[in-house]
Amino acid sequence: MPKKSATLLASAKPADEKITINVGCVDLGQIDLLVQEGFYSNRSDLIRTAIRTHLATQAEVVRQTVARKSLVLGIQHFGAADLEAVRAAREKLQIRVLGLAVIGPEVSPGLAAETIESVTVLGAFHASAAVKAALAGRIG
- Tell me the per-residue pLDDT of 36-71, one tens digit each, with 9 for 90 and over: 999 999 999 999 999 999 999 999 999 998 888 889
Instruction: State the total domains in the chain.
Output: 2
Question: 52 and 64 in one domain?
Answer: no
Question: 91 and 74 in one domain?
Answer: yes
Q: How confident is the model at residue 13 (pLDDT cuts 50, 70, 90)?
A: low
pTM of the prediction?
0.73
Q: Range of 118's domain? A: 3-16+60-138
Question: 79 and 35 in one domain?
Answer: no
Is residue 99 pLDDT above 80, yes or no?
A: yes
Q: How many CA atoms lie within 13 A of 11 on its CB side?
A: 0
Is residue 32 pLDDT above 50, yes or no?
A: yes
Higher pLDDT, residue 30 or 140: 30
Question: 122 and 72 in one domain?
Answer: yes
Classify strands 116-126 and 72-78 as parallel, antiparallel or unpaired. Answer: unpaired
Is residue 3 pLDDT above 50, yes or no?
A: no
Question: 78 and 10 in one domain?
Answer: yes
Question: 95 and 48 in one domain?
Answer: no
Mean pLDDT of the chain: 90
Sign of the dihedral defined by the CA atoms of residues 80, 83, 85, 88, in that order: negative
